[in-house]
Structure 1
Amino acid sequence: MLWIPFTLLAAFMQAWRNAFQKQLSLEVPVTGVTLARFLWASPLAALYLLALYSWQPVSGGQFQGWFWGYIVGAALAQILATSLMVQLFQRRNYAIGAGLAKSEAILAAALGVLFFSAPLSWLGWLGVLLGAAAIWLLSGARLRALSWPTLLLGLGSGLSFALTSLWVREASLVLGLPFPHGAAWVLLLVICLQSVLLIGWLLLRDPAVLLALWQRPRLTLLISVCSCLGSIGWFTAMSLESVALVKTLGQVEVLFMLLISAFFFKEKLARSDHLGLALIVLAAVCVMWA
């Protein structure tokens, strides 16, 4: 059951990372906000991996073949997902933007069954569906109130996050290292690749964005730290349990997001929030029993 506390840690840190990214998106272009997620996370991930090997040395690991394909796929999909979510923040309020991106749980469940040999029990599916309904209520979204670009951005972000999670889990399993070393290696390699790609792109296309991040060190560091701690939680939990169940339990992040939205951004919350929170609890109970 170790996947449960790791998932709760990830949800809590990701809620704060999203909040800080929303702040930064008011002053820095989308690519810069996306890079802020990875910029200082690489050395933190390296320190985490070194600490694990100091605590419990291990040997081996299949660093070949499909492993690198999963690493590249996860890195690119997460960059795309983050960019789309930042664009959502710029279109709608914080809770709605992040809420739409949380469509990843049900998308991960469907993709896992179809392509990754990861079936769910009926109780697991019930939890996923309850979680999806809860996210819809808590985000305050209504089909008639959303433009097609906003809806497509949200679903695109959710799909990209779902693919990221599925490829991260596959990379951890293919690597063949014991818990939690495999997840730590995947985390470090994915973050390093993302940092190199984004820094290289910005150096060639828009170096002013790098200067903008340099001029906002506190906010950039906060985003990277929250992102790294959240990723440690996600990657470790997904190496222990199926992505759909981890992501469904991780929807408690929306509870944290609503609290941040109300007290940090002073945004008003809808009456449907109480029902949505109740569904989140039911979904969490279902996936833990499953």
Structure 2
Amino acid sequence: MWILFTLMAAFMQAWRNAFQSRLSRDVKIAGVTLARFLYASPLAALYLWLLYLWQPAPWPQLWGLGGLYILGAALMQILATALMVKLFKLKNFAVGAGLAKSEALVAAILGTFIFGTHLSLLGWIGVFIGALAVFLLSVGDSWRSMSWSTVLLGIACGSGLALTSLWVREASLVLGLPFPHRAAWVLLLVILTQTLLLLLWLWLTDRNTLQALWQRPKLTVATSVSSFMGSLGWFSAMSLTAVPYVKTLGQVEVFFMMFISYFWLREKVRVKDIGGLLLIAMAAILVLWR
């Protein structure tokens, strides 16, 4: 079941990234970040309500360690999303999202040293290949034009997404509810926290950005809906198995991104970029087989 949830998440996240990439042409970073969560909260609440109608379950205890994990995941995902939008402005869609896919490798490393996940020699080879791929994707037309700022931004984005995933997994386990209720509660609380924080921030500091989103309803709704479906897949999968397994399999998103980038966004992808993205996919497979 976790494999099906992961494949759904990867497919929907590729589309969400595409919608965010296009929205970022006309809307500031904070607004594009909000678009990811804005209409997702009602969908998450509806999903949780339907779950309780289908199969009643206890209500979770939201205070204590579980609440801290949820708050940390919400804040870290906001930061990571903003960094990803910044990546889209520096590079084209496929390359920017590819750099952010260092998330899977960072999750494997953090999982090993902090959360007790074991990596075999084959897994560490995968980590090395992934790091090489991120380096390759950051290079311009020549090795001398390599952008270290893009490398660091990509790794920072991936690290933020990795921490988000690890904390989501821990929050799901701490709540102590049956599946899929525990994943649905974490999904709703994380998205609701993010929505309220960003709405308050923009209302106080930049109402023009809120107006810009209101003037682009189709892209905003498309971003929110695809984000909700993607998060539903990720949170459910991570509730069922360890984060490194989910995120490494989720690297199939790379191929969805290549397809969307070429056929929908009409962006050119260099041979070197394709090679880097394929290396990331290879690294994911090796880490999965650890």
Tell me the TM-score normalised to structure 1 length. Answer: 0.91
User: Who is 1:27 aligned against?
Assistant: 26
| Structure 1 position 64, deviation (Å) | 2.3
The amino acid that maps onto 2:200 is G
Does 2:208 correspond to 1:208?
Answer: yes
Does 2:93 correspond to 1:90?
Answer: no
Q: Report the CA distance shift for 1:147/1:274 in structure 2 as closer, same or farther (over 3 A).
A: closer
1:51-81 per-position Cα deviation (integer Å, ceiling 9, x unaligned): 1111111115332211011011000000000
Does 2:112 correspond to 1:147?
Answer: no
Is the contact between residue 105 and residue 132 of structure 1 (CA under 8 Å) also seen in structure 2? no
| Structure 1 position 152, deviation (Å) | 1.9
Secondary structure of the corresponding residue to residue 120 of structure 1: coil
Is the contact between residue 6 and residue 233 of structure 1 (CA under 8 Å) also seen in structure 2? yes
User: Who is 1:110 aligned against?
Assistant: 109
User: Who is 2:266 aligned against?
Assistant: 266
Gaps of 5+ in 1: none
The amino acid that maps onto 2:107 is A
Is the contact between residue 96 and residue 141 of structure 1 (CA under 8 Å) also seen in structure 2? no
The amino acid that maps onto 1:67 is G
Is the contact between residue 128 and residue 248 of structure 1 (CA under 8 Å) also seen in structure 2? no
Q: Report the CA distance shift for 1:48/1:278 in structure 2 as closer, same or farther (over 3 A).
A: same
User: Who is 1:182 aligned against?
Assistant: 182
Map 1:63-82 onto structure 2 (within 5 A): 63-82=62-81
Q: Report the CA distance shift for 1:116/1:213 in structure 2 as closer, same or farther (over 3 A).
A: same
User: Who is 1:165 aligned against?
Assistant: 165
Q: Distance in 1 between matches of 2:252 and 2:135?
A: 13
**RMSD between superposed Cα atoms in Å:** 2.3
Is the contact between residue 131 and residue 248 of structure 1 (CA under 8 Å) also seen in structure 2? no
Q: Distance in 1 between matches of 2:106 and 2:183?
A: 22
Q: Distance in 2 between matches of 1:136 and 1:109?
A: 18
1:171-210 per-position Cα deviation (integer Å, ceiling 9, x unaligned): 0000111111101100000000000000000010001111
Does 2:224 correspond to 1:246?
Answer: no
Q: Report the CA distance shift for 1:136/1:226 in structure 2 as closer, same or farther (over 3 A).
A: farther
User: Who is 1:17 aligned against?
Assistant: 16
The amino acid that maps onto 2:25 is L
Q: Report the CA distance shift for 1:283/1:18 in structure 2 as closer, same or farther (over 3 A).
A: same
User: Who is 1:220 aligned against?
Assistant: 220
| Structure 1 position 277, deviation (Å) | 6.8
The 10-residue stretch of structure 1 (23-32 or 147-156) with the greater mean CA deviation from structure 2: 147-156
The 10-residue stretch of structure 1 (77-86 or 57-66) with the greater mean CA deviation from structure 2: 57-66
The amino acid that maps onto 2:98 is G
User: Who is 1:237 aligned against?
Assistant: 237
Q: Distance in 1 between matches of 2:206 and 2:277?
A: 42
Is the contact between residue 124 and residue 245 of structure 1 (CA under 8 Å) also seen in structure 2? no
Percent pairwise identity: 63
Q: Report the CA distance shift for 1:75/1:210 in structure 2 as closer, same or farther (over 3 A).
A: same
| Structure 1 position 169, deviation (Å) | 0.3
User: Who is 2:196 aligned against?
Assistant: 196
The amino acid that maps onto 1:159 is S
The amino acid that maps onto 1:151 is V
Q: Report the CA distance shift for 1:218/1:65 in structure 2 as closer, same or farther (over 3 A).
A: same
1:121-170 per-position Cα deviation (integer Å, ceiling 9, x unaligned): 44554555555556666788986443232222111111110110010000
Is the contact between residue 248 and residue 285 of structure 2 (CA under 8 Å) also seen in structure 1? no
The amino acid that maps onto 2:39 is W
